């Protein structure tokens, strides 16, 4: 024990510095664990606990590195010169790293998104599961584009995609759930000109009114308008009609929670199609009807 204490005090020899370095690392691990336990007990919000634990680990890690640097005093007397050359070289060689770090500060300070938000960044759409100083991890959702994903709806594909935080500067970031957790969805159906499209419009409107979450969207819109000078958006369900050369196009527009879009639209589509069939109204398609008339006076 006496020998260990002597080595711990002795910072002139390599052995003494190794012992002291080990003690510093052990203390850092214990402090980090203690800070995380205190944070977990005192903070109720899951997001606050997550970011506080991250901050505690980073703080302890930086403090440990500084303590070790002071202990070992690498290249004593030439640190300034060496650091100058190193900084110039690293700045050029680590542009992506510096951009990612700047992007992390942009995410945190600008509150662009946080863990749990549904976003689209760097061509990837999904839910954020982790944000580090360099990268953002997203659990991917499907896309309507046939060449981008085998899952066609807004549901998980199972892939975890890592995107550099630098993308917040180079590409737009879409947040589906930061302040307004609703989206305007549309269900469009073509109805033949000879069918009673007025009845079809009424059926679409009734089902849209049953499906719409206009009250919740209106409440969140009012909260957002108190913080930002945004104009009031129409959240009540409506059906828009457009005449084309082939059919009458009916589009039902309604507001629903962003995370239920595919399920809600599936249920509404089934109900609307069944009601149209019951009413004797068919859905148009791009087909051609040929009528062949035989001349009865012509001898067979």
Tokens of 87: 């900084």
pLDDT tens per residue, range 181-197: 888 889 999 999 888 88
Q: Which CATH architecture has domain 182-278?
A: 2-Layer Sandwich (3.30)
pLDDT tens per residue, range 86-118: 566 666 666 777 888 888 898 888 888 988 888
pLDDT tens per residue, range 252-293: 999 988 888 888 889 999 999 999 999 998 888 876 656 666
Cβ atoms of 140 and 160 closer than 8 Å: yes
pLDDT at 75 over 50: no
Distances (CA, A) of 216 to 16, 52, 178, 223, 253: 65, 31, 15, 11, 16
pLDDT at 59 over 60: yes
pLDDT at 225 over 80: no
| Average pLDDT, rounded, for the chain | 80
- Domain ranges, ordered by start, for the chain: 2-74, 99-175, 182-278
The pTM assigned to this predicted structure is 0.60
- As a whole number, mean pLDDT of residues 69-85 equals 60
> What topology is assigned to 99-175 in CATH?
SH3 type barrels. (2.30.30)
Distances (CA, A) of 51 to 44, 56, 192, 293: 12, 9, 56, 77
Tokens of 29: 């691990």
Q: What pLDDT, on a 0 to 100 scale, did the predictor assign at position 218?
A: 84
- As a whole number, mean pLDDT of residues 196-209 equals 92
pLDDT at 78 over 60: no
């Amino acid at each position: 024990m006496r020998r260990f204490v002597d080595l711990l005090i002795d910072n002139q020899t390599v052995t003494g510095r190794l012992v002291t370095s080990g003690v510093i690392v052990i203390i850092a691990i214990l402090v980090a664990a203690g800070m995380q336990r205190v944070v977990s007990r005192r903070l109720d919000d899951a997001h606050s606990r997550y970011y506080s634990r991250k901050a505690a680990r980073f703080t302890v890690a930086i403090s440990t590195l500084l303590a070790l640097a002071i202990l070992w005093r690498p290249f004593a007397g030439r640190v300034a010169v060496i650091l100058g050359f190193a900084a110039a070289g690293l700045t050029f060689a680590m542009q992506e790293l510096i951009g990612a770090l700047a992007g992390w500060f942009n995410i945190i300070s600008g509150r662009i998104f946080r863990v749990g938000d549904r976003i689209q960044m760097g061509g990837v759409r999904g839910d954020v599961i982790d944000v580090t100083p360099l990268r953002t991890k997203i659990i991917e959702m499907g896309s309507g584009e046939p060449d981008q994903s085998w899952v066609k709806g807004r549901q998980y594909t199972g892939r975890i995609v890592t995107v550099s935080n630098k993308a917040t500067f180079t590409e737009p970031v879409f947040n589906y759930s930061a302040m307004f957790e609703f989206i305007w969805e549309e269900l469009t159906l073509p109805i033949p000109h000879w069918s009673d499209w007025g009845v079809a419009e009424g059926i679409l409107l009734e089902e849209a009114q049953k499906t719409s979450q206009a009250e919740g969207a209106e409440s969140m819109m009012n909260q957002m308008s108190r913080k930002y000078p945004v104009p009031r958006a129409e959240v009540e369900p409506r059906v828009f009609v457009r005449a084309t050369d082939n059919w009458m196009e009916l589009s039902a527009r309604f507001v629903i929670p962003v995370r239920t879009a595919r399920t809600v639209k599936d249920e509404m589509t089934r109900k609307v199609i069944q009601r149209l069939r019951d009413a004797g109204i068919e859905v148009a398609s791009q087909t051609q009807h040929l009528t062949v008339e035989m001349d009865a006076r012509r001898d067979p």
